[in-house]
A and B are shown apart, each in its own frame.
Chain A
Amino acid sequence: MNLASFLALAAILFCIGLYGVMTKRNAVIVLFSVELMLNATNINLVAFSKYGVIPSITGQVFTLFSLVIAAAEAAVGLAILMALYRKKGTVEADKYNSLKG
């Protein structure tokens, strides 16, 4: 296993996540896609910490922080989605369109 394959995996996951955020209509799937993007970077960080130019533990420590932050973000995201669902009665993200000008 070399570094390139890990980087490729992370890049593919990151792009899938970005694609999901842009195209998916279900708001929960959109949140999942954001999580996928964040987790793709975690793969990158861990791979670098083992096979990077200068291997060090830093990447893995960073991953711990980013996991916790991603969890916090998901919690807040779901809470906002719940509040929005109560008002709008739908999780279709393209129905959230009352703000425009």
Chain B
Amino acid sequence: MQSINWGIMAPEITVAIAIAVAILLDLFLKRSVSRNWIGWVSLIGVAVAGSFVIYQFNLPTSGLFDGIYVLAIPNLMWKLLLLIGMALIILVSMGQKQDELGSYRGEYYYLLLLALLGGMFVVSTWDLLTIYVGLELLSIASYILVGIRKKRAVSGEAAWKYLVLGGVSSAFILYGMSFVIGLTGTTNIIDIIHLGGVPEINEIYVYLSLFLLMVGIGFKVASAPFHAWVPDVYQGAPTAVTSFLAVVSKIAVLALFTPLLLTYAALSMKAWNEVIVILIMVLAALSMLVGNAVALRQTNVKRMMAYSSIANAGYALVPFTRTDGIFIEGSMFYSSLFFYLLAYLFTTIGVFAVIQLVEQKEKSQDLKAFAGLYRRSPGLAVAMTLFIISSAGIPITAGFFGKFYIISGILSSWDNLWLVVVMLLTTVVSYYYYFSVIRQMFFRPAPSMIEVTTPKSVGFVISISCVVVILMGLLSPFLMDTFQRLFT
């Protein structure tokens, strides 16, 4: 019997150990001891896992259990994104007011880690069963996180909507997967790809399975037309959890598109050429249109960011729509996607960190809560402006280059020119609602002149995000070169 090299699973094992330690600490620490210690334990776990991932970039591609767990550069990159996002979100969570979560602070941190663990398995597997189990671990932990403020009705309501729609989408994913298993008799995607196409008489099942799966994944990645839950859940969840859903959860589900779409391409090349690319294009275009259009009339800043995150799901789907061959051919796919997601990660976490501070101070999520922020806390207002400019995609910030590289990556053929036009037009539309925040901050009188206090950990996250957003803008050619070398 061949011995199993558990070492390549080190990041996941580290996170699992951190979860166990956090649970035990929560059990044995006295009630009077601050639960922020559990936050620090989680942060250390995430940092150690992150350093393992960085170390693993030097290792050759390898796998465990016939591809159930894969160690390759793209998987490591996805995992690194999740871990960076998680570390920042844990720091932001420590800045939450003590009364926000009551006595559930301990649970809060290890539920975050559990969701992260689910996400890490999702991004590092080529097996349908593990994908499903990881996805459910991510989702079920997120349902609880959304509803963790038990004392508030909105929180429970958001959790309820998320749970029901999340459950339905899981059922769709499972139903879709069941047909793939029926056609191939295996859950291993690498085996499925080696098996080759299905006979023409069975192609109808491939299409059925594809549509069911796309409905489910569309729900989970928060793309239109399956976005109904997004604004409600984002509004009702604690702000740190909202940024978790917008960043970590979305990135993990987005990573799934690669193995799943390749599965269908292998099952039927005809489906790939005629249906899949068009399907993704429609999902992307609808998300951009609906997200940006509906965001225009939002007055609740968290709902506005929810629609913005729907639009961002659309932008992030664009690299998958290359029409001349399979999307992962060439290094441009991964490098443009990762550049975009890295920019999105820092920008979004920064925005939500500022929203959390203002929301806690003003007890309101209304856009008007930002009125006169520049006079009250100039630093916060300037940081928020930078994040907004980056989300809107205005030059020399990270967000601009993210969109720029996505567009230059898919313009290899002119078939998807219309998608690029949609992307550019909706970006221009998005300026209007993004700038309404800036208008409030700089040109409206402040209701009071009391400074919005910034806890150290949140201040750290905001300044790090600012620096990264600017640096990614300035050093973008260099970063892009590094990515391209990584993925060739």
Contacts and interface: CB of A to CB of B under 8 A. Distances in A.
Interface stretch (B68-76, B95-103, B163-171): B163-171
Nearest to A63: B178
Nearest to B173: A41
Contacts of A77: 143, 163-164, 167
Nearest to B149: A83
Contacts of A9: none
Contact of A44 (B154, B168, B178): B178
A45 B235 contact: no
B133 A76 contact: no
B182 A52 contact: yes
Contacts of A62: 128-129, 132, 177-178, 181, 187
B291 interface: no
Interface in B135-190: 136, 140, 143-144, 147, 150-154, 156-161, 163-164, 167-168, 170-171, 174-175, 177-179, 181-187
B182 A17 contact: no
Interface stretch (B257-265, B295-303, B397-405): B295-303
Contacts of A45: 178, 181-182
B11 interface: no
Interface string A16-50: 01100100000100110010011011001101110
How many B residues touch the partner, as a band? Answer: 35 or more
A54 B184 contact: yes
Given A53-B202, A101-B231, A21 B185 contact: no
B350 interface: no
Interface in B210-254: 231-232, 235-236
A21 B165 CA distance: 9
A12 interface: no
A34 B140 CA distance: 14
Contacts of A66: 132, 174
A38 B133 CA distance: 14
B185 A34 contact: no
A80 B184 contact: no
Contacts of A58: 129, 181, 185-187
A83 B150 contact: yes
A80 B232 contact: no
A53 to B, nearest CB: 5
Contacts of A31: 164, 167
Interface of A: 10, 14, 17-18, 21, 27, 30-31, 34, 37-38, 40-41, 44-45, 47-49, 52-56, 58-59, 61-62, 65-66, 69, 72-73, 76-77, 79-81, 83-84, 87-88, 93, 96, 98-101
